[in-house]
Chain A
Amino acid sequence: MTASDHRQPGPAAPGGRQLSRGRLIQAIVEIARTVFGAAAASVFLVDLATGDLVFEAVSGEGEGDLIGRRFPAGTGIAGWVAAYGQPLLVDDTTDSPQFARGAAASTGYVPRSIMAAPLIAAGECLGVVEVLDRGSRLRGELGDVDLLGLLATELGTALELLYAQSPGAGTALGEDTPASSSDALLLQRVAGRLSGAAEPVASTARSLLAMVDDLLARDGVPVGQARG
């Protein structure tokens, strides 16, 4: 299974909680990208089984194909932030051709600056929120690090609350949920909600579903066949 499967609701966990978590994390990356005027913002979660960092949500550059991508523990800036729970801002990364090549090879995008902060819940680092290439610098570096720290604190606290409401859920990483069944549950829930939704929300949702269908078709996935 891929890491992105963990984002799907599974039979063992209440779908509402999983969906809340997904929405929460996606909202944070959207907010982070917007307030910093950044090229991209993303959230990695730590896979407790392996220590890997897994892309959980992305807004902006790379949002199409980074979800579920893994990096070994201790790798790079996000790795240090996850291991030691301190925010970090690195500028001028493109001064180094070597860095640019490494970044491009791993994510397809070469940032000029990286800012990252840990997601801490109950003293544990659950992951990292990262912002690439901030556009607005009105606050200065110190203010930017503080603001990202606040966003990370909010997300960490919200995740802690979510997990507290679902004892035994842990970080939800490592739950072995077959992708096909979790997909089916998600689609079932979407269908149920769509039938009762009012315009223009229903219209927007249908457009998004059509885009999903189109995306899968372009990728060559035939109808009625689950992808391994």
Chain B
Amino acid sequence: MTEPPPWRRPPRGHFPGVPAWGAPVDRLPDEDFGVAALGPVTPDWAWGGADGAGARVCVLDSGVDAGHPLVGPVDRMLEVAAGPDGEITVAESASGDTAGHGTACASVIRAVAPKASLSSVRVLTDGKYGAGAALLAGLRWAIEEGFDVINMSLSTTKDKFIPELRELADMAYFRRCILVAAAHNMPVRSFPWPFASVISVASHNGADPMSFYYNPTPPVDFYARGVRVPVAWAGGRQIHTTGNSFAAPHIAAISALVLSKHPMLTPFQLKTVLYLTAGNVARASDTAPRSAENAGGTHDSQ
């Protein structure tokens, strides 16, 4: 078994331990780790020629209809279930998707990143236990499993889950597991999408699946296609859907493309790449040098 990379090693047995977190400068180069240098970041540098191969994406949702032609092969199908003593566990799942929502998200990812590995954790339960508890259990499993990207087109409105959810979001961030979360469509408090450690997504009404925009007003990070999105639905159907739920998998899939081409990117680098390739940022970057050259002239935003 190969040694896990530094960011996925188990925590030290004795915390805080001795020494704590410092390191002598002369020992720093000992640790070899992959480095992704950021070139001049353009869409072509970021995902040109990439098909998602090698990136592992997990859809945390209502399950996935693996037999749907728009979804294609699903590597792992799991579900949050009750264990023998009533505890919540994550187990292999034979059921598909009763609601259709997870299948739709999976089809968006498949369309944008066709060679990415797709897995599903069904966290929409039949009401035997709370949706929030199932969401936490599924999320913890997916983070520990080491997926590169987890799509969460769902959130919880219950405040009691905030501490654990925030801890999980931070854990994902440190383990280089990208959490892409759909922003709520309504003015209500819900989580985890407002956390700084996740990538939060709302909808724009354009029709291009690869077009996305940076939002300078927190907490939403990016806008992606989320209106009349053609998606797969349960039962082999194909429909059009609208909602931030379908914007998030676009960013999840674009993240998978970027990571398949640049696997050593850290979460903070990936967010920077998405920022620099966002339509409105790239456009502003293009015009900035020109306006600087036109000293004293008016700003041309064409």
| Complexed CA–CA distance, A96 and B158 (Å) | 36
B47 within 8 A of A: no
Contact yes or no, A149 B245, CB < 8 A: no
Task: Verify B237–A99 contact, CB threshold 8 A.
Answer: yes
Q: How far is the CA of A96 from the CA of B240 in the complex (A)?
A: 12
Do residues A86 and B205 form an inter-chain contact, with CB atoms below 8 A?
no
CB of B284 within 8 Å of the partner chain? no
Chain B residues, Cβ within 8 Å of A50? 127
Q: How far is the CA of A83 from the CA of B182 in the complex (A)?
A: 15
Query: Per-residue 0/1 for A184-224: is the Cβ within 8 Å of any B Cβ (1 yes, 0 no)?
Result: 00000000000000000000000000000000000000000
Number of residues of chain A lying within 8 A (CB) of chain B: 42
Partner of B154, one of A51, A84, A120, A144: A84
Cα of A72 to Cα of B233 in the assembled complex, Å: 19
User: With a CB–CB cut-off of 8 A, which chain B residues contact A123?
Assistant: 157-159, 189
- Chain A residues near B205 (CB-CB < 8 A): 140-142
Q: Which of B98, B187, B188, B235 contacts A99 (CB 8 A)?
A: B235
Q: Which residues of A contact B243 (CB under 8 A)?
A: 86-89, 145
* Cβ B184 vs Cβ A86 within 8 A: yes
CA distance in complex: A66, B252 (Å): 39
Any chain A CB within 8 A of the CB of B186?
Answer: yes
Interface residues on B, range: 35 or more
Are B156 and A88 within 8 A (Cβ)? no
Asked whether, in the complex, the Cβ of B237 is within 8 Å of the Cβ of A98, the reply is: yes
Q: Cβ of A149: which chain B residues have Cβ within 8 Å of it?
A: 185-187
Q: How far is the CA of A83 from the CA of B188 in the complex (A)?
A: 15
Q: Is B253 an interface residue (CB 8 A)?
A: no
Residue of B nearest to A51 (CB): B127
In the complex, what distance in Å separates the CA atom of A79 from the CA atom of B154? Answer: 13
- CB-based contact A153/B186 at 8 Å: yes
Question: In the complex the two chains form, what is the Cα distance from A141 to B244 in whole Å?
Answer: 12
Q: Tell yes or no: B192 within 8 A of A by CB.
A: no
Determine the distance from Cα of A85 to Cα of B159 in the docked complex, in whole angstroms: 14
Extra inter-chain contacts (5) besides given A86-B154, A86-B243, CB under 8 Å = A73-B126, A87-B243, A91-B241, A96-B235, A125-B157
